[in-house]
Structure 1
Amino acid sequence: MSLVLAAALALGLTACGGSTSAGNDDRPVVLTTFTVLADVAKNVAGDKLRVESITKVGAEIHGYEPTPGDIRKAAQADLILDNGLNLEVWFQQFVEGLDVPHAVVSEGVEPMPIAEDSYKGKPNPHAWMSPSNVQIYADNMAKAFAKLDPANAAVFEANASAYKAKLQEVKDYLASELKALPVQQRALVSCEGAFSYLTRDVGLKEVYIWAVNAEQQATPQQIARAIEYVKEHKVPAVFCESTVSNAPMMQVVEASGAKFGGVLYVDSLSEADGPVPTYLDLIRHDARTIAGALTGKTS
């Protein structure tokens, strides 16, 4: 840990000892590592807790570098939630030194390993891209919130139950829409391998150009492999994530004859007036985009 971060941690710890407050808001503070978790947590917490995210809307969470202010904020929280599955490696350098309760919301999720590249064999961290997994997240949050605020345990459980029902609707919709798709065409072809859990949910094969968020341009071999799969299996549409360039996938489109099915959202929510201001907006958008493009119900 750098001297700057260590100093910030020391300052933060001296300030710890109770909830932070915003004005007259004295509710316990729950701090999450990124915006998707914050939104899910808000649905489970209702108005009983104050939920905040360390990273901002649009932030790249894989390689995020925490600031001294982030550490002070974490030290003053009443509960910290992170995704786990090696997503927030940047967070682990200081969370163990904080005297703050901590919960990993992916606990209980069946991990899926990354299939290739330097991360081969490590768990794919994108578990929140599965409505089924986020149902587990919601239950884990409700349990952690009940420990933090036992008087409202029943509220958290009820909120989680209602939220899980909405998630189930998304999963059921996507699975139902894809039933008419020929077996060989049941593939989700995207730029990054961020959809392992979603494809497992609904019986699709995951195909991608690169396995993990690319730090450099896609190789000709990676693009050629995707082209070959799309052509061989007559996959009608391909996709790309909002946080990366779709240029490599457009090469797949040109060479294979598949349509570009649209942009998918993964790592971050949008601003309130954007396309995916909540997690339900995000997963519904992705489900509609995937189903519409693969079945031909959208142009």
Structure 2
Amino acid sequence: MIRKPQTLLLCAAMAASGVAQAAPSSEKKTVLTTFTILADMAQNVAGDRLNVVSITKPGAEIHGYQFTPSDLVNARGASLILNNGLGLELWFEKFTRQLGQVPSVTLTDGIKPVNISADAYKGKPNPHAWMSPKNALVYVENIRKAFVKLDPAGAKTFNANAKAYSAKIRAVDARLKTQLASLPKNQRALVTCEGAFSYLTRDYGLSEHYLWPVNAEEGQGTPRQIKGVIDAVRAGKIPAVFCESTVPTRGMQQVAREAGARFGGVLYVDSLTDAGGPVPTYLTLLQKDADTILRGLGGQK
């Protein structure tokens, strides 16, 4: 089942969550990003020198987004588009082909991907590279270089902002490493709906199980997928399972019931919330997910 796409962002809620709204300004250039997490990263590097706008809105399922004519109209006023790459935005090539001459930068350039190991996407790169704080440092450096090229007069600002933001990412990485290491050895397994946590589980020494590899896959939550995860949870005596905020939880709720595990809660991966939600920034997303995993699997915050 392909998740139903969301509508255009470009709304005031993003301004409140640290991502600039597309304001009419003759002084600032506008940078578009394909989703909210990239917008937050970019805004931290841009500071006040650039307008940063996410095409998709908070809470959107970003893999199969269907852009609108309004997206194209708004994008033609942009000076640059930042995308994730690694096959994440299935719509992006068509979008840029229709858009024309706006340059784009792929923020995963330089990252060694983890390949998907099962199902229809076997052998293809897992696109959720930002779920590793170490990879996020590469995103930030790619953003910094892109902004210096776009606006050379702002280089000092971009360099300083990127340095300060990278220090915050490293601090979150160190904290997550310590916290997740507190999990008992027999509970170091992360079970989710989408296989979006391969980089996080690699960084922090957890095993990984999931219902489907990528949200855009046909047949999400099939009986075969559900049975496979139930068997893994039973065999590993895994105490809790999780699902992501942008997809229905019913398949994983069934896993929890039939495997005798708890449903440990919702994790955030593909999208931030608005300013009033639990994960208005990328760094709070990482910490919120770690707290949920720790609570679900029995570790201590």
- TM-score normalized by structure 2? 0.86
> Are residue 297 (structure 1) and residue 300 (structure 2) matched?
yes
Distance in 2 between residues matched to 1:24 and 1:209, nearest whole Å: 46
Partner of 2:14: none
Partner of 1:16: none
Distance in 2 between residues matched to 1:49 and 1:193, nearest whole Å: 34
Distance in 2 between residues matched to 1:21 and 1:185, nearest whole Å: 45
In structure 1, stretches of 5+ residues that fail to align are: 1-19
Percent of aligned pairs with the same amino acid:
57
**Aligned counterparts, 1:20-99, within 5 A:** 22-24=23-25, 26-96=27-97, 98-99=100-101
Alpha-carbon deviation of 1:140? 0.4
Partner of 1:12: none
Distance in 1 between residues matched to 2:280 and 2:26, nearest whole Å: 24
Question: Of the candidates 153, 157, 163, which is equivalent to residue 159 of structure 2?
Answer: 157
**Aligned counterparts, 1:265-284, within 5 A:** 265-284=268-287
User: After alignment, is 249-258 or 75-84 more displaced?
Assistant: 249-258
Code of the residue aligned with 2:226 in structure 1: it is: I
Distance in 1 between residues matched to 2:233 and 2:211, nearest whole Å: 12
Distance in 1 between residues matched to 2:24 and 2:101, nearest whole Å: 24
Q: List per-residue Cα deviations over 1:30-87 (Å, max 9, x = no partner).
A: 1111111111100111111110111122222111111122122222211111001111
Distance in 2 between residues matched to 1:170 and 1:42, nearest whole Å: 18
SS at match of 1:118: helix
* Larger RCO, structure (CA 8 Å, separation 6 or more): 2
Partner of 2:132: 130
Distance in 2 between residues matched to 1:84 and 1:217, nearest whole Å: 22
Partner of 2:12: none
Distance in 2 between residues matched to 1:292 and 1:94, nearest whole Å: 41
1:21–1:27 Cα contact (<8 Å) kept: no
1:178–1:295 Cα contact (<8 Å) kept: no
**Are the structure 2 counterparts of residues 236 and 92 from structure 1 closer, same or farther at C-alpha, using a change threshold of 3 Å?**
same
Distance in 1 between residues matched to 2:239 and 2:228, nearest whole Å: 16
Distance in 1 between residues matched to 2:239 and 2:75, nearest whole Å: 46
**Are the structure 2 counterparts of residues 217 and 98 from structure 1 closer, same or farther at C-alpha, using a change threshold of 3 Å?**
closer
Superposed structure 1 runs of 4+ greater than 3 Å apart: 214-217, 295-298
Partner of 1:255: 258
Alpha-carbon deviation of 1:215? 4.5
1:171–1:202 Cα contact (<8 Å) kept: no
1:170–1:287 Cα contact (<8 Å) kept: no
Alpha-carbon deviation of 1:92? 0.6
Distance in 1 between residues matched to 2:24 and 2:42, nearest whole Å: 21
Code of the residue aligned with 1:37 in structure 2: it is: L
- TM-score normalized by structure 1? 0.87
2:242–2:267 Cα contact (<8 Å) kept: yes
1:29–1:79 Cα contact (<8 Å) kept: yes
2:33–2:55 Cα contact (<8 Å) kept: yes
Distance in 1 between residues matched to 2:82 and 2:196, nearest whole Å: 21
**Are the structure 2 counterparts of residues 135 and 192 from structure 1 closer, same or farther at C-alpha, using a change threshold of 3 Å?**
same
Distance in 1 between residues matched to 2:250 and 2:73, nearest whole Å: 40
1:41–1:141 Cα contact (<8 Å) kept: yes
SS at match of 1:47: coil
SS at match of 2:265: strand
Larger Rg: 1
Distance in 1 between residues matched to 2:103 and 2:273, nearest whole Å: 28
SS at match of 1:255: helix
Aligned residues: 279
Q: List per-residue Cα deviations over 1:70-127 (Å, max 9, x = no partner).
A: 1222222111110011112211124256222221111111111122222221111111
2:176–2:287 Cα contact (<8 Å) kept: no
